[in-house]
Structure 1
Amino acid sequence: MSNADSPRPRRIVVLISGSGTNLQALIDAQNTPSLPNARISLVLSNRKAAYGLTRAANAEPPIPTAYLGLQPYLKANPGKTRDDYDEEVARIVVRDKPDLVVLAGWMHIMGDGFLDIVNGDKVLDGEDKVEKPIPVINLHPALPGAFDGAHAIERAYEAFQKGEITHSGVMVHQVVKEVDRGEPVLVHEVEIKPGEPIGAFEERLHKTEWAIIVQGTKKVLDEVAPLS
């Protein structure tokens, strides 16, 4: 098959806020059997100093990056709201025409407007309508329904110390309008060992995250943009 005949790479936009270790797992998996014919077309951060932006720039070939912070946006646009910010994030995403959006440590809860735009239910001024809904998945370091929202790892560890749980886990789930309540794509349990310091538990949990984010991304991509 010549290059002209080869299928278009499946495009992934990744949203990050921090060091980007989960992003790195996706970067390393691009165009391997773990994530075939797929490339990260854009990494967007809501924090300017997020090391994940550096990881994207250092990838081979370099991955385009974008930055849009909530407070700087509000300051630069008097009268605009958090909902306007979410729409602006959606604008950046839909312009890239991805097959899938992955939230990999994105520490900002999206309002309904973001999903309305990527689902094609709402069209932004000056932009094309999204004809085919773009799925959005999120990595969350807890089991479904267990520790929604922030500080899930610390809260699970604390619950274990109190004897309330015997294990925690990690999930990749569809993003819906209720925080961390979308349908799970993949779930992996992670045990908490008696007497184990939180740092050791966290390290094992992160290793599970790096595996499951790639597996979950492949699973959803294969559903929405199957390899021909």
Structure 2
Amino acid sequence: MLRIAVLVSGGGTNLQAIMDAVADGKITNTEIATVISNNKNAYALERAAKAGIPNCCISPKDYADRAQFHEALLAALDEAQVDLIVLAGFLVVIPEMMIRKYRNRIINIHPSLIPSFCGTGYYGLKVHEGVLNRGVKVTGATCHFVDEGTDTGPIILQKAVEVKNGDTPKILQQRVMEEAEWIIMPKAIDLIANGKVKVVDGKAIVEEN
């Protein structure tokens, strides 16, 4: 059984997609061991509580420095005995000590087709603003492992989404979530839980069904 920690900062729509997929059997061999947020007011914590999932807030504001915050975050993950860390809209930079300890065991969802519209400064609505400003016809989402760079880790899954005339950043954001993020993030977790993803020479190899 794969034990996952879901790290969130806001409403937790990706968390809900994961919870629903576990409940529906789309994610197998997996349990959500803990939900952690850096924001005590995050609705994601309420979602977890309603589902009976252990949850807590670990905020940088509650510690003297980032080092103490990082230690507290790692301690919580260790205590929950997690096998995989899922970043589902977690707006805090992941410390290198955590990346080293959980090498190829941290995944993130990014709302574009990496390597387009990713890296420093591309987060949230800024990604979709960049897409619309450039005028591309296809965008999407990417689920990838996390390494020391920004959106540079091995890519697990990608799904394309059409950009339509009249899209605003918010409309496009919603479509990318519904048509891509909420589909490929649960699928990636299920693949990992069933031993169908391995990293070779810096690339994620996904076993075909």
TM-score, structure 1 normalization: 0.78
Equivalent of 2:145 in 174, 180, 184:
174
* Percent of paired sites with the same residue: 30
1:138 aligns with 2:108: yes
Pair 1:162–1:150, CA change in 2 (3 A): closer
Contact residue 84 and residue 106 of structure 2 kept, 8 A: yes
Matching residue of 2:63: 73
Change (3 A) 1:163 1:69: closer
Measure, in 2, the Cα distance between the counterparts of 1:156 and 1:12.
Answer: 27
Q: Which residue of 1 aligns with 2:206?
A: none
In the alignment of these two chains, the number of paired residues is 195
| Structure 2 CA distance for partners of 1:178 and 1:196, relative to 1, 3 Å | same
Amino acid at match of 2:100: D
Aligned CA distance change for structure 1 residues 20 and 163 (closer, same or farther; 3 Å): closer
Report Cα offsets for 1:37-68 as digits up to 9, x if no partner.
32101001111000000000001xx0001111
Distance 1:164 1:204, change over 3 A: closer
Q: Quick check: 2:29–2:194 contact (8 Å CA) kept in 1?
A: no
Per-residue CA deviations over 1:119-172 (Å, capped at 9, x if unaligned) read 4xxxxxxxxxxxxxx711011111112222444454444444444522221111
Gaps of 5+ in 1: 1-8, 75-80, 120-133
Q: Structure 1: which amino acid aligns with 2:163?
A: I
Which has the higher Rg, Structure 1 or Structure 2? 1
Higher strand share goes to which structure?
2
Provide closer, same or farther for how the CA distance between residues 25 and 150 of structure 1 changes in structure 2, counting only shifts above 3 A: farther
| Kept in 2: contact 1:99–1:224 (CA 8 A) | no
Aligned residue for 1:190?
161
Among residues 29, 54, 60, which one is paired with 2:21 in the alignment? 29
Measure how far apart 1:116 and its partner are.
Answer: 2.5
Worse-superposed segment, 108-117 or 194-203: 194-203
CA shift for structure 1 position 204? 0.6
CA distance in 2, matches of 1:175, 1:136: 6
Q: Deviations over 1:200-220 (max 9, x none)?
A: 212111112111110111112
Return 49-58 or 36-45, whichever deviates more.
36-45
Describe the shift of the 1:156–1:38 C-alpha distance in structure 2 as closer, same or farther (beyond 3 A): closer
2:2 matched to which residue of 1?
A: 10
109-118 vs 203-212, which moves further: 109-118
Deviation at 1:110, TM superposition (A): 1.1
Task: After TM superposition, list the pairs within 5 Å mapping 1:1-228 onto structure 2.
Answer: 9-59=1-51, 62-74=52-64, 81-119=65-103, 135-146=105-116, 147-152=118-123, 154-207=125-178, 208-223=180-195
Distance of 2:11 and 2:121 partners within structure 1: 17
Check conservation: 1:87, 1:114, Cα contact below 8 A: no
Q: Partner of 2:207 in structure 1?
A: none
* Alpha-carbon separation, structure 2, partners of 1:151 and 1:159: 8
Alpha-carbon contact 1:31-1:38 (below 8 Å) kept:
no
Measured in 2, the distance between the counterparts of 1:25 and 1:161 equals: 26
CA distance, structure 2, for counterparts of residue 49 and residue 154 of structure 1:
20
Tell me, what secondary structure is at the counterpart of 1:223? Answer: coil
Residue aligned with 2:157, SS: strand
